[in-house]
Amino acid sequence: MKEYGNRTKEIHAGQEKADIGTGARAVPIYLTSSYVFNDAEYAADVFMMDKPGYIYTRLNNPTNEALEKRVAAIEGGSGCLTVSSGMAAISTALLTIVQSGDEIVSGNNLYGGTFTLFKNTFAKWGIKVHFVDSQDLNAFEEAINENTKAIYCESIGNPKLDVPDFEALSELAHKNNIPLVVDNTSAIGMVKPIDYGADVVVHSATKIIGGHGTALGGTIVESGKFDWTNGKFPEFTEPDESYHGLIYSERFPETALVEKARCQILRDLGLCSSPFNSFQLLQGLETMSLRVNQHCENALEVAKFLESHDAVSWVNYLGLENNPNHEQAKKYLKGKYGCVLGFGIKGGIEEGKKFIANVKLCSHLANICDAKTLVVHPGSTTHSGLTPEEQISTGVTPDFIRMSVGIENVEDIIADINQALQKAVK
């Protein structure tokens, strides 16, 4: 698959031949919990991971595997694990790397759910996360100490909407012998963080990958290049007593993280994905690049329209040349700037609520990167669990409307926004 272009991989990777046995051309939904072993010896070999094979769908499944291979091919990784949601991908990836007593340095421009996981749940488990300004490299560097086991960032910070300096962050991580973990949910199909040194890439497959707002899912991709044997990660290099003394770095030199995550976290915490959801996500991937192009084209037009509108006080979209992060976005996203934009309505919170109450074509809901255009008021919904100071530091002002621009005809999206804006400020 390596030599093929992106659109070809999106359609074919993970299933290069029709289904053996039936000839089914689509990836079949293998909706089964378990698999019959041919004989006792084979069963023992599969359990020891001496032979490839399927045991139980919490650990592996052919439909999930097709999705894993496809996402790995798209991101240029050596392996991938699919799990039940984006949050499951983030927690599983990090819990495979860090233990109680370890620390993580993270950008502060995070998806609300990730912020809560890091600040509250990880803290309860003895994992400390330092939040630093997502654009301040020195702040990342200063927060690293001998307990730090990963640097974490989001490709297009949600909702601040900025792009990290992937190259500089991966350099900093590698200088400290730790991996760079990137949440590429909002920019898959636009940037491959692994090309810029990222070691682990996680996604909420619920968003661009699925693309139609139907199925939750998450994926964890690893580059295969990080040296887990550098002395900082003994769990990768010492026998796992819970798994027949398996040494992940030896048995899986290129996919140690994915297999450790599967054998430990997926086995023990059970955040596995349904083959039915994987099927939906595979369908989404087949048109991902086409959708991404249309999303980005529409979002830029909507951003320009909003910028020229009397009722709008500010617009935040990476594609606008006056955006402070535009040049960095241009470098990494190569002319695409994502489907999400933010804007403020003149007046503030009441006008914002009125705008949302009056949209007709746009849906009022908390999701992004759906084929349909979506709007939400983060201050009273997705980020309401944060303190006012935390809201400001993550980029959530009271007048802020977040819009995920869909792939409808852009003139219809703009007409809907226009009528709702007029009603809001009347």
Ligand X SMILES: *Cc1c(COP(=O)(O)O)cnc(C)c1O
Catalog residues that contact ligand X under the rule CB under 6 A: 85-87, 111, 113-114, 154, 158, 183, 185-186, 204, 206-207, 216, 218, 368
CB of 203 to ligand X, least distance (A): 8
- Shortest Å, Cβ 148 to ligand X: 21
Q: How far is the CB of 408 from ligand X (least distance, A)?
A: 21
**Least distance in Å: CB of 84 to ligand X?**
8
Nearer to ligand X, 202 or 311 (CB): 202
CB 303 within 8 A of CB 341: yes
Smallest separation, CB 134 to ligand X (Å): 13
Nearer CB in complex with ligand X: 14/210: 210
Looking at beta carbons only, is 61 or 204 nearer to ligand X?
A: 204
Alpha helices in 79-205 (DSSP H): 86-97, 112-116, 122-124, 137-143, 166-175
Q: Which residues contact 227 (CB under 8 A, 6 or more apart)?
A: 177
Cα–Cα distance measured from residue 99 to residue 149, given in angstroms and rounded to the nearest whole number: 9
Helices 410-425 and 288-307 cross at an angle (nearest 10°) of 40
CB 253 to ligand X: min, Å: 29
CB 188, CB 70: distance < 8 Å: no
Q: Which residue, 160 or 207, has its beta carbon nearer to ligand X? A: 207
- Strand (E) or helix (H) holding 400: strand 400-404
Q: Which residue is nearest to ligand X (CB)?
A: 86
Instruction: Check if the beta carbon of residue 378 is closer than 8 Å to that of residue 402.
Output: yes
Question: CB-wise, 15 or 85, nearer to ligand X?
Answer: 85
CA dist 190 → 68, 98, 153, 242, 355 (Å)? 19, 29, 16, 39, 30
The number of residues in the chain equals 426
Which residue(s) pair with 345 in the sheet?
Answer: 312
Nearer CB in complex with ligand X: 144/216: 216
Q: Quick one: DSSP state of residue 266?
A: I
What is the nearest approach in angstroms of ligand X to the Cβ of residue 368?
6
Q: Nearer to ligand X by C-beta: 175 or 364?
A: 364
Q: Locate all alpha helices (DSSP H) within 150-255, ordered by sequence.
A: 166-175, 234-237, 248-251
In whole angstroms, how close is the CB of 27 to ligand X at the nearest point?
Answer: 21
- Give the shortest CB-377-to-ligand X separation in angstroms: 16
**116 or 293: whose CB is closer to ligand X?**
116
Alpha carbon of 390 to those of 113, 196, 377: distances in Å? 13, 30, 16
What element of type H or E holds 422?
helix 410-425
Alpha helices in 238-381 (DSSP H): 248-251, 256-260, 267-269, 275-286, 288-307, 326-333, 349-358
Helix or strand or coil: residue 235?
Answer: helix
Compute the least distance from the CB of residue 206 to ligand X, in Å. Answer: 4
8 A C-beta contact, residue 219 and residue 209: yes
* φ and ψ of 220, to 5 deg: -125, 120
Q: Which is nearer to ligand X, 61 or 206 (CB)?
A: 206
Nearer to ligand X, 18 or 366 (CB): 366
